[in-house]
A and B are shown apart, each in its own frame.
Chain A
Amino acid sequence: MGAGHAHSLYLDRESRLHRLAPECKLVAVFTFIFLVVLTPREQFWAFAVYAVLVLAVARLGRVPSTVLARRLVVELPFLAFAFAIPFFARGEQTTVLGVSLSVSGLYASFNILAKATLGASATIVLGSTTPVRDLLKGLERLHLPRSFVSIAGFMLRYSDVIIGEMRRMKVARISRGYDPRNALQARALGAAAGALFVRSYERGERVYLAMVSRGYTGVMPDLGAPRAAAAQWRTVAVLPAAAAVVCSCAWLAQT
């Protein structure tokens, strides 16, 4: 059975960052992103400092910058829109290399680019230093409703199973000479998607039966994970604290 690796984002290394409790890291990363988003877009230096902070944390977690750069590719589709803004926005115009661009559009573009990249980098570092199942545990300890956490857990558990099923169906199609050349022939793909949906639905039923058979009554049991030590919270607080200082300074400089 194909044991796919849907959780391959995690880099199994030994570092201080890896050893921190997941809930601490989650809170630190999300506070950091929140502060980055709050920062006024005109204060370019602030974003440079944020970038240095993220790179420092990545280094601490032994996430190579090449890996970070490669994984940042996921944000590209979202940035396509940001790049178009200066060409279409109105207001005061400026000329760069003979092309007329909107000043506020350029700011908007930079704003999206900088904040998205910083946010994505921070989450990439988090994902690279924390196994997904630990992230789920962290979310549970942060009192996210347990049904949300279990749904995410099921998704994680069964994505491999469903991808495996999808792959076997594909091999079965190819083995019977399937090679679609036009939209009409692509009908088989639709049928396969439908079959996959029905199979997943039936699997859901069977999983539920297996859960009920082991005494499930509608609430996932609380497995009472140990809480993170105060020292861990103090350690992770360094990142959001630094970001808070930068953000405050940026606002002071702005007014």
Chain B
Amino acid sequence: MSEPVIEIDGLAFAYPDGHQALFGVDLHVHRGERVALLGPNGAGKTTLVLHLNGVNTAGRGTVRIAGLPVEKKHLQEIRRRVGIVFQDPDDQLFMPTVAEDVAFGPANLGLRGADLDTRVREALEQVGMAEYADRPPSHLSYGQRRRVAVATVLSMHPEVLVLDEPSSNLDPAARRELSEVLLSLDLTVFMVTHDLPYALELCPRSVILDGGVIVADGATVDVLRDEDLLRAHRLELPFGFDPARAAGRRARRGR
């Protein structure tokens, strides 16, 4: 297999207050894969995500992004390669207008002028928000803000798109619009969620993180059909949801 885009080996991490969040995580994600990271609240999911771009630095073990170790001297390049979309779009969109916000990342990479404008336009077109470029983020709906948040990292041309709870607080239509956007991207996607149907729809592969270690790794449909496994890690399917049937439907749609 090719060189993994995300390569985590034996990662352990404790917060400065002594609270240990990760106890040796091993995970490889390859180019073009879409992987869901499942787990109950407090499992260490967000902690793990913040290791991918060096906001947290490994206590033990290593993290590599497309072969480049996450270390201080590579941080700027690592942060270009890993685009993180945070849970609350109001945290992510801090510039006065949508276009300026989408330009923030590439401008930090040194892009200016026409190149920068092209990046911004392309990223907004990818998420279907081009016509809102000059709006202030506060005038958009929550779902639109979430899509703009995705554009703010797409404009940096990342190797891997990391999403923290992408479907939270979205109404069903906004949730579907976002999944259409995500499925249209030709990118490696790593998605933190406890929205299990969303994981099944978007990610062929799922891993479960609980107690700071990876406890399951496999095809999403198999992971979700293992009721004992889900119950052991405080994960639950919505009432009446049958993963096998849903996966069948997904296959018929040609995804």
Give me the interface of A with B, judged by CB distance under 8 Å. Answer: 1, 3-4, 7, 132-133, 136, 153-154, 156-158, 160-161, 203, 206-207, 209-217, 221-224
Docked-complex contact A157 and B94, CB < 8 angstroms? yes
Tell me, in angstroms, the Cα distance from A217 to B84 when the chains sit together: 17
Whether B50 sits at the interface, judged by CB under 8 Å, is yes
Spell out B's residues near A (CB within 8 Å).
50, 53, 55, 76, 79-80, 82-84, 86, 88, 90-97, 100, 103-105, 107-109, 112-113, 116, 136-139, 141-142, 152-153, 156
Shortest Cβ distance from A152 into B: residue: B96
Instruction: Return the contact of B55 from the options A153, A156, A160, A212 (Cβ within 8 A).
Output: A212
Q: In the bound complex, what is the Cα–Cα distance between A3 and B116 (angstroms)?
A: 29
CB atoms of A224 and B112 under 8 A apart = yes
Residues on B with C-beta less than 8 A from A153 are 94-96
- How far apart sit A146 and B133, CA to CA, in the bound complex (Å)? 22
Residue of B nearest to A165 (CB): B90
Pair A157/B156 contact, Cβ less than 8 Å: no
Chain A residues, CB < 8 A from B100: 223
Is the CB–CB distance between B79 and A213 below 8 Å? Answer: yes
Chain A residues positioned under 8 Å from B90 (CB to CB): 158, 161, 203
Which residue of A157, A207, A215, A221 contacts B96 across the interface (Cβ within 8 Å)?
A157
Which of B84, B88, B93, B113 contacts A213 (CB under 8 A)?
A: B84
Residue of B nearest to A159 (CB): B138
| Nearest B residue to A4, CB-CB | B138
B96 closest partner in A (C-beta): A133
Q: Other CB < 8 Å A-B pairs besides A207-B94, A211-B94, A213-B55, 9 of them?
A: A157-B94, A161-B90, A210-B94, A212-B79, A214-B83, A215-B80, A215-B156, A216-B108, A222-B107
From known contacts A133-B136, A157-B96, A161-B90, infer whether A214 and B103 are also in contact, taking CB-CB under 8 Å: no
Closest-CB distance, A147 to chain B (whole angstroms): 14
CA distance A172 to B2 in the complex (A): 54
| 22 residue pairs bridging A and B, Cβ less than 8 Å apart | A3-B138, A4-B138, A136-B96, A153-B94, A154-B94, A157-B95, A203-B91, A207-B91, A209-B91, A210-B91, A210-B94, A212-B55, A212-B79, A214-B104, A215-B76, A215-B79, A215-B108, A216-B108, A217-B76, A221-B103, A221-B104, A224-B112
